Every structure is written in structure tokens, then in C-alpha cells.
Structure 1
Amino acid sequence: MTTRPEDVMQLLADARPGRLDPDGRPDPANYTAQSVTRRRSVPRRLILAGALPMAAAATAVALVLTGGGTDPVPAPPGSPAGPGSPGAAATPGSARELLLVAAAQTDASATATSGRYWVRVQEHGERKEVGRYGIASRLLIERWLASAAGDPNVEVYQNLGAAPVTAADEAAWKADGSPQQWTETGPKGTPPIVRTTAVGPRQVRAIRGLLPMMIAGRQVTAADLAGLPSEPGALKSWLTARLPQHADDDLFYAGRDLVAELPVSAAVRAAAYRMLADLQGVDFLGVVQDRQGRSGMAVAFTRRGDGGWGQQRLIVDPGTGRALAQESWFLGSAATPAGPGTLMSWTVYVRAGFTDEAAPTP
């Protein structure tokens, strides 16, 4: 595999949605993500291509990862392993309350800080339109990052197979004869892309050069992450100085990356949660489930793109402060009303943490 998922969201519709609140933004109550108490089917016709977000995990800053000029990285976040389960004692009723609870839980967390490898496992998914229905194209990505000289840093990729996204998509797929593969046009100059329901083999390759680490779509280094402040205001100032537009949506994406994707200390993650709690425009979506059925609570940032409304969601377990998933949703436009919204792409944080096991070999 030669390409990596990029953290972008492309909106391709034409006009303004009909369901707006007075300040011109959609009512977030209409767009709950995978609601535990109520589910709605979504439209099958869309002209939005969701993109797969991706960032890097890494090992402790005191450890120098060797080989191919690989960058040393700071201490990793706590493991988001296990199912999310909002506890009875943690019942936030707003985005701010949820994010502050997550910050407090992060401050109180105790995780292993050493091991032969830092391992991060994520499942990435993207909705693809095929005629009258959508399929989910899914990819599992593992990163094994060594703590000592002599051990290789490796990535493991596995195509998890495609399948209809929703119950409505599944019904349309069955009416279409339940095809087992689909072909789509590739980028100019490349062969067509074949997507299949079959699970592919695990592919292992060495990580060479600097580890790809991004904040809100901009490259950062291990030194950048090691120097991040652990006070919310200072962290916001650091991010604002790096982000081109200094907009709240950029800060939301940056905070999301820090709490969910990047190898930063627990203190920095807690500061990122507190920074998010003070941002304008962060909505509360209540109790939801991620794509693996784990329960959590979601916050979201909604914005209008060139042709329609899109929403980025972060699902958190308030009982542990762990990020469970992030999702990109299309909320529609006047030309393509999307009802409760359509999930276009997602990243599920399966697990992360240290292990003394040997890494897979290429």
C-alpha cells in the first residue's frame, strides 16, 4: 500500500440546508451520532466524499527511535482500550461539562509508561456511493514504535472488506443482487480501484524517516509535541500561532488531534480537553455509539463548506476520559437535504499502549 489517509473533509453540494437555527447553523439536536435510544435511516444519494483522518502515535520522549532518521517522540497518551461505558457518576449535560469531566479523568489516569513498543491500533472507514446505496470501505492500521535502538518501527495495514453502511443500504444492496465487489475510477493516470467484501491480508512495512504527525492538517515534529504547554490558554496560544486562520474550527480539529491521535502527555491531553471546553461553537450530542458499538458521549463542530454543511464529531468515554472515535458527517444542503445527517468517514480508536511483544516483521 502506497497511500495514506489524509485528514480532510470535502463538501460537494450546492446550497443552504433548510433546517437551521436562528444563527444560521443547523440544530445539533437533529443530528445525534449513532444514537443509543433512537436510530434513523439516512439518504442513499449523496455527493460528498468523506475523507479518512489519520495521524501518528509514538513512544516516550526520553527514548530515541532509531533507523532511517526517525524522530524521537514524547510520552504517549493513555490507552483507549476497552469499551466505553459512561458511568453513573459521570453524567455531563453539556459539551463543556463533558470535556471538563474528560480532562479531570485524564489528570487522574495512571497508565504504563514503558515497554518494548508503543502500539496504536485504529480502524478507518469511509462511505462510498455505489448506485442506490453506500458501502463502508474499512482499513485497520497498526503502528509499532520501538522504545530502544535496534528494534524496527513498523506499520501493519489490513483491508477489512467493504459492506453496506446502514440497514437501508443493506436492503438496497440485497435488491441489487448482493454484489461482492465494486469498481470505481481511480485518480487520473491510475488503474481503477476494486473494492471487495473480502478481508485482505495483513501487510507489514518498515516506517522510515520522520514519523508523520499532524495537528489540524499541519506537520508537527516530536520536538514540537515535547514542548507543548499543559495550561489551556498557553496551549491555545501555541496552536493559534501555527494555524493559518486562527478559527475555532481549526482549534477544534487541533484539540481533537491532541486528545485522540498524537503521542502527548496526559497533562497536555487534559489541557486540550479544557481548551475545547472553552471554544465557541462546540455542540453536545449526548450519548452515542461508535462504529464498534461502544457507548460514549459526543461533542461536535459544525461548519458550512463551499456547498453544504459538514460536522466533525469526537466521541469520548466520560468515565475514563478516553477518546473512542472521531467521525465526519454530512448534514445536507438545500439541494441535498440529509435529514438527520449521513456518516461519511470515521476513525475508531481500538487500542493504544505499551507492550513487550515483538513487532510483526515485513
Structure 2
Amino acid sequence: MTDLKNLLEQAAGTDPVVTDADVAADLNRGRRAARRRRFAGAGLTTVAAAVTIGALAVPLAFSPADGSGTDGSASGGSGTAVSAPPATSGTTALSAGDVLLVAAAHEEQAEATTGTYFRVRKVYSREWTVLADGRIVCCGSAPAGPGGYKLRELTVNETWTGLKGGTAWLGTRSLGARPATPADEAAWRTAGAPTSWNAGPTDTADKHDQVLSSKPGKAVLYEMKDAADRYTAPGMNSTLEDVLALPATPKQLRARLLETKALTAPDADDVVALVQFSGSLLSDTPALPKVRAAAFRLLAGLPGATVRQNVTDLSGRTGTAVAFSFPEYSLNLRLIVDPKTGKLLSSSYTGGKNGDSTVLLSGWTDDTPKAPPASMK
């Protein structure tokens, strides 16, 4: 443990302040790289050149969204450039890549810490379909039909990953279910506005019924001795020492993550895998500051990102969102960053059958493990 503690302290550096020069250097590096890609693409086909040039994404103004996209953001396809609205007076035009490079400059200077546990608090969301006859079906993929509606249930999970030779804990609590949309709320009121729903027997040993409620549920805390000093992100069952040994340059980190992809999901698209693994590394592991910075820089060089200002996460924090979307894989990753400091506020992953997860808290602590609160914070 002493060696790992010393390694963390050495990685912290002596000056945790991100200077204007740090940010400017990162942005200049990113723009020079974009120009190099532009020149390199001169002899390519039109489509290949568009993919190459679009690697830092679309320049967008740091001003309220104008509704140009379905979610208020301008969007390019995977690496396809789209004309951006002009910057308004008093705003600074930054691309999605620029936002991520500011975050990288911040993370590189961040202070590494140690603790007894690495704690991650996530809020998971999933949909249930309530049919007109009262039957309830997971997980939102079934149409509600006439007289039916959909519910969105939020559950908060908190993991406390201990050190080698220690233990780990998992705390969980339902935050309740409610109609997913205003239209669902209207159908719910027509159905009598029930406050609980019986989903039928579970796959537990006693086959008890799973009952959803509109109120927060009882918190539980489980000890998981086998999970101590184990991190499943990014796509691997790693120890703390493995995580601390991740490479600290974008090129080397990319190669390492693609090695993991080759072992775990060889048929997956490289960009999809890099986005997913990098997001998990940032939110779910105690990676060193320089490794986290490398992950941000790696993401900044990938095609297909969109940016939107004044986005609020599930806990009410507001920042600038950088999002990657892969409809063909039903996968979306959204990072919300404080535009002033570059700090990662939350990471949201959406995929599969209408479910998503948002990281609200991630870091070392000496607190005693306990079940999560009945609120999102």
C-alpha cells in the first residue's frame, strides 16, 4: 500500500492550478492536429477526407442551444462536419474537441488522493410498460397500447471498492417510479393514478413478487469480499495496481484499450469501443490524473461528437455536454463538463432497452460504507 500511495502522490504534481497557458497549449495542440489531418486528407476521397477533417467535431458557440437538432444540439454523423451557427457577441466558439481538451488540462493538474475505499455513486434509470389490464412488463421495449402507459424507475447504487486484502460493499435503493412522459402521466391519471405496481415473481430463491412504488424504497448494503480491489472498467477485471499502470499518453492508451477490445469484443467498432471504455475509465476507476487527461484527449480526437451548453444532469448540476451517439448500436455517451474549470460533473451512458446510468460521485474516501441516500446528490 505504501508504494501505491507514493505513486499517487507523485502523480499529483506540485501545482494543481490550471493556468491559461495550460488550456491554450492544449487547444493549440488540438487545432494543429486538426490542420495536419486536413492536409493529410487532401489526397483522400471526399468521404475519407470528411471523416479525417471532422475528428475534432463541429465548432459550436458557447451560447444557449438554438434548437437546430432534435435535442437542441447541432449534430454531425460519425465524423461528418455540419455547419455551426455563428458565435454570438460575448461567446467563444469551441468545438466538442476543445471542451474535452480543457477538461484534459484540468485533469492533468488535478490532485490525486488516496483513501480506504474508492466510491462511485450512480443513478440507474429503466422503463416499465404498464398495459391497460394492469400487467407490467420490463423494460420499456413493449408498446403501452391504448389505456397503457410507461413508468421510469430510478435506482441509486453505490459501490465502495476496498484495497487489496480488504473488502467491498454495494449499497442500493429505489428512488421510486413515475410516469415517463407527460402523455404517460395523463394515461396514468386516467387509469386511477396508482402508486404501486406488481411486476410478478422475481428470479430470487423465494420467488417473491417485485413491487414498484412511487415512493423511495428501503436501502440495503451488501458486503462483497470477492470484489475488493477489482475494477471492471474499462472492460477488464483489474486491480488497483493495474489501473494505476494505465498508459498516460493518448496514443498508448488508445492501443491499450483496443487490446482490451480485441479480447472482450473483437467484432465491435473501434470508435464505439474507445468511447465506451474511455467513459468508463473516467467515471468508474481511480485512474491517475495524467491517464484521465489522456482519456479526454483520446476522446477529443474521435469523430462524431456534439456539444451543447447549459445541460442539467439528474442531480441538477449544469454544465456543457459533449455527447457521442451510435444509433446502430443503441448506444449514447454524454459527458457533462464544467466549462469554467473543465471538471467532469457527470457521465451518462444510455443503451439497450431504454435504460441509462449517470455517475453522480466518484472518488476516494475514508468514510464508513453505508447505503445511499433517498435523493440524488
The alignment's TM-score, normalised by the length of structure 2, stands at: 0.61
**How is 1:94-243 mapped onto 2 (pairs within 5 angstroms)?**
94-110=95-111, 113-130=113-130, 131=144, 132-146=148-162, 152-184=167-199, 193-211=210-228, 213-215=231-233, 217-243=235-261
Q: Deviations over 1:91-135 (max 9, x none)?
A: 663211111111111122235x13444333222222223334332
Cα gap change, 1:352/1:90 in structure 2, threshold over 3 Å: closer, same or farther? farther
- Number of equivalenced pairs: 269
Bigger helix fraction: 2
Q: Deviations over 1:62-96 (max 9, x none)?
A: xxxxxxxxxxxxxxxxxxxxxxxxxxx99663211
With CA pairs under 8 Å and 6+ residues apart, which has the higher RCO, 1 or 2?
1
The alignment's TM-score, normalised by the length of structure 1, stands at: 0.63
Cα gap change, 1:153/1:233 in structure 2, threshold over 3 Å: closer, same or farther? same
- The equivalent position to 2:347 in structure 1, one of 314, 325, 331, is 325
Cα gap change, 1:269/1:260 in structure 2, threshold over 3 Å: closer, same or farther? same
1:262 alignment partner in structure 2: 285
Deviation at residue 226 of structure 1 after TM alignment:
2.5
Query: AA paired with 1:156?
Result: G
8 Å CA contact 1:259–1:323 kept in 2: the answer is: no
Q: Hey, what's the Cα distance between the residues in 2 that align with 1:270 and 1:98? A: 12
8 Å CA contact 2:333–2:350 kept in 1: the answer is: yes
2:356 alignment partner in structure 1: 346
8 Å CA contact 1:124–1:140 kept in 2: the answer is: yes
Q: Hey, what's the Cα distance between the residues in 1 that align with 2:167 and 2:233? A: 25
Query: AA paired with 1:249?
Result: V
Q: Hey, what's the Cα distance between the residues in 2 that align with 1:118 and 1:198? A: 29
Q: Hey, what's the Cα distance between the residues in 1 that align with 2:317 and 2:103? A: 17
Deviation at residue 146 of structure 1 after TM alignment:
4.1
Cα gap change, 1:355/1:262 in structure 2, threshold over 3 Å: closer, same or farther? closer
Match of 2:354, SS state, is strand
8 Å CA contact 1:240–1:246 kept in 2: the answer is: no
Deviation at residue 280 of structure 1 after TM alignment:
2.0
Q: Hey, what's the Cα distance between the residues in 1 that align with 2:190 and 2:70? A: 17
Deviation at residue 289 of structure 1 after TM alignment:
1.4
Cα gap change, 1:223/1:117 in structure 2, threshold over 3 Å: closer, same or farther? closer
2:28 alignment partner in structure 1: none
Q: Which runs of 5+ in 1 are unaligned?
A: 1-21, 30-34, 43-88, 331-342
Q: Which runs of 5+ in 2 are unaligned?
A: 1-49, 52-56, 59-63, 72-89, 131-143, 372-377
Cα gap change, 1:201/1:187 in structure 2, threshold over 3 Å: closer, same or farther? closer
Query: AA paired with 1:154?
Result: W
Deviation at residue 187 of structure 1 after TM alignment:
7.4
- The equivalent position to 1:281 in structure 2, one of 304, 313, 327, is 304
Query: AA paired with 2:95?
Result: S
Which shows bigger deviation, 350-359 or 96-105? Answer: 350-359
8 Å CA contact 1:296–1:324 kept in 2: the answer is: no
Query: AA paired with 1:129?
Result: T
Which shows bigger deviation, 153-162 or 165-174? Answer: 165-174
8 Å CA contact 2:331–2:349 kept in 1: the answer is: no
1:314 alignment partner in structure 2: 335
RMSD: 3.7
8 Å CA contact 2:65–2:308 kept in 1: the answer is: no
Cα gap change, 1:91/1:125 in structure 2, threshold over 3 Å: closer, same or farther? farther
Query: AA paired with 2:296?
Result: Y
Q: Deviations over 1:1-60 (max 9, x none)?
A: xxxxxxxxxxxxxxxxxxxxx99xxxx99xxxxx9887x999xxxxxxxxxxxxxxxxxx
Q: Hey, what's the Cα distance between the residues in 2 that align with 1:263 and 1:104? A: 18
8 Å CA contact 2:233–2:284 kept in 1: the answer is: no
8 Å CA contact 1:41–1:167 kept in 2: the answer is: no
Cα gap change, 1:290/1:210 in structure 2, threshold over 3 Å: closer, same or farther? same
Match of 1:169, SS state, is helix
Match of 1:301, SS state, is strand
- The equivalent position to 1:297 in structure 2, one of 315, 320, 326, is 320
Query: AA paired with 1:293?
Result: G
Q: Hey, what's the Cα distance between the residues in 2 that align with 1:124 and 1:350? A: 11
Q: Hey, what's the Cα distance between the residues in 2 that align with 1:177 and 1:266? A: 52
Query: AA paired with 1:96?
Result: G
